[in-house]
């Protein structure tokens, strides 16, 4: 199972060179785990950048994946990870979700670089 961070989703959705690399390593959609915070971030970005119709399409696509709600266990683990790795709250929730579900985290966000269980693909790399 894999958690795709918002940064990786955006690169994939805009079909950037980095997104092309990501597309080549993504597993079947049945193995995609989407934290609800990623849904929020993507809907916000898509609505701002390409409009609500595209945001609705992506949200509908996400509903075909495994959606991981934010619960107490993930929230408390996220709080620990904030302190341990100096992560922002949203990043800590994404990382906690991956950790809780024993999933790999795929990201283009340098804040995660070097953390256990993270596959980091730098933007602009192909």
> What local confidence, expressed as pLDDT, does residue 125 receive?
55
Phi, psi of 87 (to 5 degrees): -95, 150
Q: Per-residue pLDDT tens for 42-63?
A: 999 999 999 888 889 988 999 9
> What local confidence, expressed as pLDDT, does residue 45 receive?
94
Distance CA 63, CA 83 (A): 31
Q: With bands split at pLDDT 50, 70 and 90, how would you rate the model's confidence at 124?
A: confident
The pLDDT of residue 37 is above 60: yes
Q: What angle do CA 67, 23, 89 make, to 5 degrees?
A: 45
Measure Cα distances from 46 to 16, 64, 113, 124 in Å.
Answer: 15, 18, 25, 21
Q: What is the mean pLDDT of the chain?
A: 94
The pLDDT of residue 40 is above 80: yes
Q: Per-residue pLDDT tens for 68-102?
A: 999 999 999 999 999 999 999 999 999 999 999 99
């Amino acid at each position: 199972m894999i958690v795709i961070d918002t940064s990786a989703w955006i690169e994939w959705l805009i079909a950037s060179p980095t997104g092309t690399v990501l597309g080549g390593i993504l597993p079947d959609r049945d193995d995609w785990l989407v934290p609800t915070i990623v849904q929020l971030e993507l809907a916000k970005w898509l609505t701002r950048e390409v409009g609500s119709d595209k945001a609705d399409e992506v949200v509908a696509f996400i509903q075909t994946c495994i959606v991981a709600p934010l619960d107490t266990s993930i929230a408390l683990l996220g709080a620990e990870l904030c302190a341990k790795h100096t992560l922002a709250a949203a990043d800590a929730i994404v990382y906690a979700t991956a950790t809780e579900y024993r999933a790999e985290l795929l990201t283009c966000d340098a804040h995660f670089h070097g953390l256990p269980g993270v596959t980091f693909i730098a933007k602009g790399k192909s």
